[in-house]
C-alpha cells in the first residue's frame, strides 16, 4: 500500500523541507513506483506510490479538483459503480476510468462530511482545505489502513506509518504506559486511540478527525447498523445473494496482474480462492493466482498443509508449501528483530515474514480469509429469545426441529451458560490468572488489577437482536489491530493485504440473515461453495491446531521459554524478571502464551533502542522499584 505523511500549520508557517525528506525516506519501502514531496503555504506532504489496482490510481499526491481541497492518502474503494451513479444523479459526468481518489474528492465536494458513510473499502486519507485551513482525516470501519497523528508546536503531523511521525524532532520518545499495561495483560491494547508512544495517537477505525482553528475533534462517522431482518421465502435465496456478494467482493479486490492468497485447510481462505477463480472464468479475465501455506510436519501431524494442497489442486491454482517445523519462537530476534513499530506478541513471527517475502516475489496483492468466524459461526440463544418474545412458537418448533432432525443434536446456544456453570461449581477466583510477574510499582500506578477485571467483563453495548457479540466485535475496531500487523510497516515489503470476507456489504447482509440454520457453523458458506471446493474441506468442522509448537519445541530441548538472566534495564520498569522466570520455568499450556508477552516486549524495546534514543519519564520511586 502507498505511503503518505504530512504536516499542517494553522498559522500558515512553512513546513520543514528536511523533515519532509526524512519522512519520505521512511516511507520509501511502501512505494517503489514514485516519490513526491509537495510544499504549500502552511502545509507539506510526501507520498510514495505503490501501483496495485484494479481501479485506476492517482500516481502523484496530493491531488485536487479545484486547487483548494487536497487529498493525501491510501484509498481503495469498493462499490465504485454505485458511488458513480449517485454522483451522476447530480449531473456530474464521471468517466469509468476515474481514480478512487477523484471519486472521494467529488463526493466530498458534493456532500462534505455527509459523504463519508457512503465510502466503503480500505482507506485512510487526509483532506486539506487550504482556504479555510482545515484538515479532515478519515479511516475506514474495518481499519485496513493505519493512520497516526501527533500535535506539536501548533502543527499537526500525520501518516499511515508510525515511524514517519517519529521522525519529528519536537516529539518525545516517551512510551505510553497504558498501552504497555494492556499489552502485558492480554497481548494487545484495547484502547485503539493509543499508540505505544505517549505523544502519538492512532485514529480509530470508523472515525474522522477534524483539525482547525476550533481545535482537534474526533468523531465516529460510520458503524455497522442494526437493520430489519431479511425475510426470504427459500433458504437458497439467501445462498444466492451471499454468493453474489462474495463474488463481487473478491472481484473488486483482484488486481490486473499477479495475485497471491494465504491458504489453509479451512473453509474461509479456500472459499475466497474458489470464488476468485470462478469470478475470473465467468468474466473471461486473466488470473495469475498463487497460493501459499505452511506445514508443521514432522513436528506434529498437521493436516492444514495437506488439505490446502488438495484445495489448490481442486481449484486449479499453484501452491507453495513452507515447512516450518524448524522455526523456533523468537528465532533471530536477539540479533535481528523483525520490523515491529509497536510491541507484537507473536513469537513465531518469522513464519509470516518468510511467507510474505515469498509472496512479494510474485505479487503486490495478497488475499486472506479473515472475517469468516464473526457472524457465520453464529449463536442461537439471542435468536431464540427474539422469537420467544414475539411468541413465534411455531417457528421455534419448525427451525429447531429441522436442525435436530438433520444433525441429531440441539443447536448450540452459545449463551455463556457452561462457563457460568463452571464458575459457579468450581468457584474460580477471576484473579487467579492475573500475571504475578508485573512490577509492583507499575501494577499499582496503572491499577492493573482493576484493568484486568474490566477487560474480562462481558460488554453489553450492542443491541443487535440476533448477533450481539458479532455486531459488537465488528464495530469495536478489533479487526484493525489484526489487520495492522499485516501492513507493510510490519514486514518491510510492498504488499497490500486484502480481506474479502470483511467487505461491509457482506457483513451488513449477514447481520440480517436468521442465525438458524444458515449462520451456524458456517452453513451458508458451506452451501455457497458446493461444487467449488472438495467436500472434505467444504464439510470439515473447524478444528484447533493439532499441536502446540511452544510445548513441543520446549520438550525437544531445542528451545527454552526461560528468559535471559540479564534483561535490558528498561523492561524492569514493567516486569519482575525473577518472578517471570519462575512462571516460565513451571509453565503449563494455558499460561505460556500470556507469560511470554514480557519477552515480546523486551525484544521490541531492544529493537527501538538500537535505532534511536527512547525516553521514559520515571520518578525516583519508579527507578528505585525497578532496581530492586
pLDDT digits (tens, 9 = 90+) for 194-252: 999 999 999 999 999 999 999 999 999 999 999 999 999 999 999 999 999 999 999 99
Confidence band of 591 (pLDDT split at 50, 70, 90): confident
Closest CA to 48 of 34, 62, 67, 64: 34
Q: Quick one: the chain helix, strand, coil %, rounded to 5? A: 40, 15, 45
Name the 3-class secondary structure at 196.
coil
Q: What angle do CA 280, 276, 496 make, to 5 degrees?
A: 115
pLDDT at position 627:
38
pLDDT at position 620:
37
Confidence band of 564 (pLDDT split at 50, 70, 90): confident
Task: Determine the Cα–Cα distance for residues 131 and 420; give it in Å rounded to an integer.
Answer: 59
Cell of 447: 491499577
Inter-residue contact 248 to 506 (CB < 8 Å): no
Residue with cell 497523528: 149
Angle, helix 448-455 to helix 177-186, in steps of 10 degrees: 60
Residue with cell 469468516: 372
Inter-residue contact 521 to 527 (CB < 8 Å): no
Average pLDDT of the segment spanning 391-416: 90
pLDDT at position 257:
92
Cell of 378: 453464529
Give the torsion sign (CA, 330, 331, 334, 338): negative
Confidence band of 563 (pLDDT split at 50, 70, 90): confident
pLDDT digits (tens, 9 = 90+) for 52-95: 989 999 999 999 999 999 999 999 999 999 999 999 998 778 98
Average pLDDT of the segment spanning 135-153: 96
Could you give all domains of the chain from N- to C-terminal order, each with its CATH number? 3-220 (3.60.20.10), 235-375+486-514+522-538 (3.40.50.620), 549-626 (no CATH)
Find the range with the poorest average confidence among 217-231, 263-277, 537-551: 537-551
Is pLDDT of 581 > 70? yes
Task: Determine the Cα–Cα distance for residues 389 and 384; give it in Å rounded to an integer.
Answer: 9
pLDDT at position 567:
77
Name the 3-class secondary structure at 322.
strand
Q: Which residues is 261 bridged to in the sheet?
A: 291, 367
Closest CA to 490 of 588, 627, 282, 346: 346
Average pLDDT of the segment spanning 126-141: 97
pLDDT at position 615:
41
- Other C-beta atoms within 10 Å of 433: how many? 13
pLDDT at position 589:
59
Task: Determine the Cα–Cα distance for residues 34 and 60; give it in Å rounded to an integer.
Answer: 8
DSSP class of residue 105? Answer: H
pLDDT digits (tens, 9 = 90+) for 285-314: 999 999 999 999 999 999 999 999 999 999
pLDDT at position 92:
75
Is pLDDT of 97 > 70? yes
Name the 3-class secondary structure at 138.
strand
Task: Determine the Cα–Cα distance for residues 82 and 517; give it in Å rounded to an integer.
Answer: 31
- pTM score, whole prediction: 0.94
Average pLDDT of the segment spanning 551-569: 86
Q: Which distant-in-sequence residues (6+ apart) come within 8 Å of 310 by Cβ?
A: 534, 536, 537
Task: Determine the Cα–Cα distance for residues 92 and 49; give it in Å rounded to an integer.
Answer: 28
Is pLDDT of 335 > 90? no
More confident residue, 523 or 426: 523
Average pLDDT of the segment spanning 544-552: 88
Confidence band of 3 (pLDDT split at 50, 70, 90): very high
Task: Determine the Cα–Cα distance for residues 307 and 541; give it in Å rounded to an integer.
Answer: 13
More confident residue, 582 or 317: 317
**Average pLDDT along the chain:** 92
Confidence band of 188 (pLDDT split at 50, 70, 90): very high
Average pLDDT of the segment spanning 138-161: 96
pLDDT at position 418:
59
pLDDT at position 424:
60
Task: Determine the Cα–Cα distance for residues 108 and 285; give it in Å rounded to an integer.
Answer: 33
Inter-residue contact 613 to 173 (CB < 8 Å): yes
Is pLDDT of 134 > 60? yes
pLDDT at position 622:
38
Give the torsion sign (CA, 403, 404, 408, 414): positive
Average pLDDT of the segment spanning 253-275: 96
Per DSSP bridges, beta strands 288-295 and 319-323 are: parallel
Whats the size of the chain, residue-wise? 628
Q: What angle do CA 540, 590, 175 make, to 5 degrees?
A: 110
Encode 273-291: b = buried (16+ Cβ within 10 Å), e = exposed. bbbbbbbbeeeeeebebbb
Amino acid at each position: 500500500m502507498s505511503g503518505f505523511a504530512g504536516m499542517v500549520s494553522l498559522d500558515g508557517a512553512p513546513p520543514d523541507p528536511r523533515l519532509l525528506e526524512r519522512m519520505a525516506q521512511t516511507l520509501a519501502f511502501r512505494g517503489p513506483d514514485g516519490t513526491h514531496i509537495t510544499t504549500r503555504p502552511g502545509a507539506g506532504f510526501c507520498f510514495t506510490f505503490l501501483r496495485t489496482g484494479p481501479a485506476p490510481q492517482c500516481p502523484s499526491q496530493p491531488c485536487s479538483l479545484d486547487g483548494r481541497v487536497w487529498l493525501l492518502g491510501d484509498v481503495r474503494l469498493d462499490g465504485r459503480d454505485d458511488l458513480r451513479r449517485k454522483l451522476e444523479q447530480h449531473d456530474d459526468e464521471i468517466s469509468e476510468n476515474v481514480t478512487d481518489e477523484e471519486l472521494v474528492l467529488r463526493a466530498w465536494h458534493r456532500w462534505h462530511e455527509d459523504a463519508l458513510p457512503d465510502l466503503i473499502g480500505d482507506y485512510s486519507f487526509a483532506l486539506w482545505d487550504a482556504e479555510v485551513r482545515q484538515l479532515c482525516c478519515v479511516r475506514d470501519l474495518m481499519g485496513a489502513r493505519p493512520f497516526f497523528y501527533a500535535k506539536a508546536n501548533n502543527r499537526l503531523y500525520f501518516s499511515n506509518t508510525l515511524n514517519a511521525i517519529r521522525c519529528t524532532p519536537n516529539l518525545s520518545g516517551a512510551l505510553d504506559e497504558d498501552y504497555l499495561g494492556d499489552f502485558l495483560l492480554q497481548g494487545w491494547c484495547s484502547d485503539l486511540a493509543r499508540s505505544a508512544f505517549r505523544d502519538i495517537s492512532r485514529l480509530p477505525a470508523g472515525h474522522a478527525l477534524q483539525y482547525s482553528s476550533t481545535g482537534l475533534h474526533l468523531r465516529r462517522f460510520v458503524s455497522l447498523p442494526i437493520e430489519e431482518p431479511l425475510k426470504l421465502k427459500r433458504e437458497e435465496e439467501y445462498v444466492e445473494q451471499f454468493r453474489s456478494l462474495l463474488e463481487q467482493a473478491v472481484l473488486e479486490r483482484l488486481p490486473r496482474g499477479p495475485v497471491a492468497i494465504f491458504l489453509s485447510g479451512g473453509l474461509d481462505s479456500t472459499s475466497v480462492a474458489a470464488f476468485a477463480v470462478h469470478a475470473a472464468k465467468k468474466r473471461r479475465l486473466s488470473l495469475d493466482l498463487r497460493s501459499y501455506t505452511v506445514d508443521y510436519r514432522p513436528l506434529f501431524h498437521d493436516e492444514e498443509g495437506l488439505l490446502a494442497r488438495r484445495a489448490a489442486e481442486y481449484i486449479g491454482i499453484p501452491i507453495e508449501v513452507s515447512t516450518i517445523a524448524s522455526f523456533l519462537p523468537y528465532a533471530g530476534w536477539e540479533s535481528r528483530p523483525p520490523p515491529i513499530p509497536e510491541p507484537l506478541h507473536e513469537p513465531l513471527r518469522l513464519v509470516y515474514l518468510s511467507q510474505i517475502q515469498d509472496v512479494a516475489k510474485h505479487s503486490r496483492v495478497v488475499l486472506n480469509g479473515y472475517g469468516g468466524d464473526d457472524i457465520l459461526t453464529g449463536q442461537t440463544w439471542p435468536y431464540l429469545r427474539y422469537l420467544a418474545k414475539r411468541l413465534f412458537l411455531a417457528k421455534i418448533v419448525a427451525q429447531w426441529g429441522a436442525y435436530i432432525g438433520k444433525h441429531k443434536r440441539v443447536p448450540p446456544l452459545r449463551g455463556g451458560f457452561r462457563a457460568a456453570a463452571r464458575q459457579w461449581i468450581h468457584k474460580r477466583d477471576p484473579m487467579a490468572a492475573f500475571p504475578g510477574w508485573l512490577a509492583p510499582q507499575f501494577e499499582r500506578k496503572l491499577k492493573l488489577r482493576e484493568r484486568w477485571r474490566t477487560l474480562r467483563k462481558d460488554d453489553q453495548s450492542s443491541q443487535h437482536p440476533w448477533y450481539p457479540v458479532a455486531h459488537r466485535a465488528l464495530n469495536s475496531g478489533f479487526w484493525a489491530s489484526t489487520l495492522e500487523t499485516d501492513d507493510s510497516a510490519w514486514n518491510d515489503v510492498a504488499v497490500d493485504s486484502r480481506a474479502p470476507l470483511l467487505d461491509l456489504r457482506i457483513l451488513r447482509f449477514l447481520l440480517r440473515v436468521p442465525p438458524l440454520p444458515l449462520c451456524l457453523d458456517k452453513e451458508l458458506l458451506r452451501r455457497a461453495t458446493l461444487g467449488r471446493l472438495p467436500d472434505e474441506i467444504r464439510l470439515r468442522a473447524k478444528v484447533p491446531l493439532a499441536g502446540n509448537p511452544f510445548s513441543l519445541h520446549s520438550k525437544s530441548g531445542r528451545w527454552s521459554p526461560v528468559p535471559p538472566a540479564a534483561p535490558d534495564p528498561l523492561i524492569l520498569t514493567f516486569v519482575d524478571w525473577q518472578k517471570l522466570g519462575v512462571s516460565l520455568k513451571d509453565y503449563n499450556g494455558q499460561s505460556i502464551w500470556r507469560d511470554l508477552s514480557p519477552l515480546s516486549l523486551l525484544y521490541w524495546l531492544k529493537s527501538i533502542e538500537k535505532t534511536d534514543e527512547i525516553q521514559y519519564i520515571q520518578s525516583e520511586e519508579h527507578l528505585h522499584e525497578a532496581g530492586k
